[in-house]
Amino acid sequence: MYNQLVSKDIKLAVVGLGYVGLPLALEFARHFSVIGYDIKEKNLTMLRNAVDPSGELKADSFKNRDILYTSKLSDLESANFFIVAVPTPIDKYNKPDLHPLLSATTAVAKVLHKGDYVIYESTVYPGCTTEECVPILEKLSGLKYIEDFKVGYSPERINPGDAEHSLQNTVKIVSACDDASLDEVARIYETVVAAGVHRAPDIRVAEAAKIIENTQRDVNIALMNELSIIFNRLGINTYDVIKAAGTKWNFVQYTPGLVGGHCIGVDPYYMVHKAAELKYHPQMIASGRFVNDSMGGYIAKQTVKRLLANDMPMEKARVLIMGITYKENVSDIRNSKVADIVAELLSYRVLVDVVDPNADPLAVQEEYNITLSPAPTSLSSAPTPLSPAPTSISPAPTPLSPAPTSISPAPTSISPAPTPKYHAVIIAVPHREYLTLTEPDLEKMLVPNGLVVDIRGLFRTKIKHLQYWSL
């Protein structure tokens, strides 16, 4: 298989060209003939023009690559080595939603030939590949697993917004259904992963390894979040405590914060689901999820409490939230926990403005029904080209359905709109554009005696006079 890929006698297909699939496909396309298959036509058009829809990759990454972007099953048929990298989200009940995975598997099954390989990269619970995907591959292709086609699993470790840890310089776990195919899969991945591969003894081991990488982070962050709730009652700052404890050699530096996105806040639910099937109800993992999922509401309530302590009637209070992406310096808004802060504040009838230099305003509107505002004047260096004219999200008639006021977008050429004075500014996502803010910058955005809520505690040494609260 490896030699045929190198000689380009056969093709490698990547199914799902998102954060994970696209860089992988482009890297393989330096060496092999690649089919990039996705169902989103709009994204495929962008990719053909060397534009990464997620904004992670520059045009250079598309140069001199042997790759065909397609949504046609007939094109997928010309491949013999398939890599599946489609989303594995959770549904509204926090249960694994395997629809994209099973639908991608169905597409592959329809074009599978004898001797082909199918490698899964999507994050799943241990057992999912062989229990859920293999039966579809067998049924629709009429071929027999292991005898006629091989399956492997190789979890992805990319970290969006992180230029340091890339596909090439991070050891990659590989696994397969038998020893001979593991050798083949390892050799193929070694072509693009300079750091090398780790051969897991079993597909389920590789699936579990990915899940626990993120579950460990989730539980540790939850511990810090819980401690921050306790330290808040004690009247001491969590970050000061962590700094002091961090002077011990074996203290691990986790910090409190919002856990959103498509990995850390999602993957533990996959483990909980599988454990429940095995009649074990995990307490640690589930309580980590409970604590982290409650933090948005907690931060909003703490803000409201402090506004009330300032004698501020809630229906007159105006709060600015800075940042809505799931973490700093990325444009990804999936599972943003900032949306929970907005919803909770609206339920108290507080007026909320949200700004973000990286998020796509249309995506935010579509996903959360939140209209992004232009950057405040003291942040005028932050890009605001797509932002509509200033508008606050009015408290909705029902607390849980925010109804943003919608007014027509301002011409992009005008200077930033004058900033309304806020009763509180919540620095929710510390994008690099916000890190240089000074106390006078924040003061300009606030009414006298206004409050700075600094979720990640980054400004705690900078703020000397303003009212300040962090986790």
Ligand X SMILES: NC(=O)c1ccc[n+]([C@@H]2O[C@H](COP(=O)([O-])OP(=O)(O)OC[C@H]3O[C@@H](n4cnc5c(N)ncnc54)[C@H](O)[C@@H]3O)[C@@H](O)[C@H]2O)c1
* Residue 379 binds ligand X (CB under 6 A): no
* Residue 103 binds ligand X (CB under 6 A): yes
**Phi and psi torsions of 34, nearest 5°:** -115, 140
Query: Are residues 283 and 310 in contact, defined by beta-carbon separation less than 8 angstroms?
Result: no
Q: Which is nearer to ligand X, 329 or 467 (CB)?
A: 329
* Residue 107 binds ligand X (CB under 6 A): yes
* Residue 203 binds ligand X (CB under 6 A): no
Structure tokens given for 414: 């005008």
The C-alpha atoms of residue 205 and residue 198 are separated, in whole angstroms, by 11
* Residue 19 binds ligand X (CB under 6 A): yes
3-class DSSP assignment, residue 151: strand
Q: How far is the CB of 367 from ligand X (least distance, A)?
A: 13
Among 5, 35, 79, 86, binds ligand X (CB under 6 A): 86
The string over 195-229, giving b where at least 16 C-beta atoms fall within 10 Å of a residue's C-beta and e elsewhere, is eebebbeebbebbbbbbebbbebbbebbbbbbbbb
Structure tokens given for 114: 């004898």
The C-alpha atoms of residue 403 and residue 369 are separated, in whole angstroms, by 7
Among 5, 25, 26, 43, binds ligand X (CB under 6 A): 43
Active site residue 263: yes
* Residue 15 binds ligand X (CB under 6 A): yes
Structure tokens given for 378: 């003291």
Among 1, 10, 12, 18, binds ligand X (CB under 6 A): 18
Q: How far is the CB of 120 from ligand X (least distance, A)?
A: 9
Count of residues that interact with ligand X, criterion CB under 6 A: 28
Q: How far is the CB of 112 from ligand X (least distance, A)?
A: 15
> 128, 133, 177, 263: which is the annotated catalytic residue?
263
Residue nearest to ligand X (CB): 18
The C-alpha atoms of residue 113 and residue 108 are separated, in whole angstroms, by 10
The C-alpha atoms of residue 154 and residue 170 are separated, in whole angstroms, by 13
Q: Tell me the torsion sign for CA atoms 457, 459, 465, 467.
A: negative
Q: How far is the CB of 19 from ligand X (least distance, A)?
A: 3
* Residue 96 binds ligand X (CB under 6 A): no
Alpha helices in 91-193 (DSSP H): 99-111, 128, 134-141, 179-190
Structure tokens given for 376: 């405040």
Among 23, 36, 160, 376, binds ligand X (CB under 6 A): 160
Structure tokens given for 52: 């990464």
Q: Which is nearer to ligand X, 10 or 85 (CB)?
A: 85
Q: How far is the CB of 356 from ligand X (least distance, A)?
A: 19
Active site residues: 263
Q: Applying CB under 6 A, which residues contact ligand X?
A: 15-21, 37-40, 43, 85-88, 100, 103-104, 107, 121-123, 156, 158, 160, 262-263
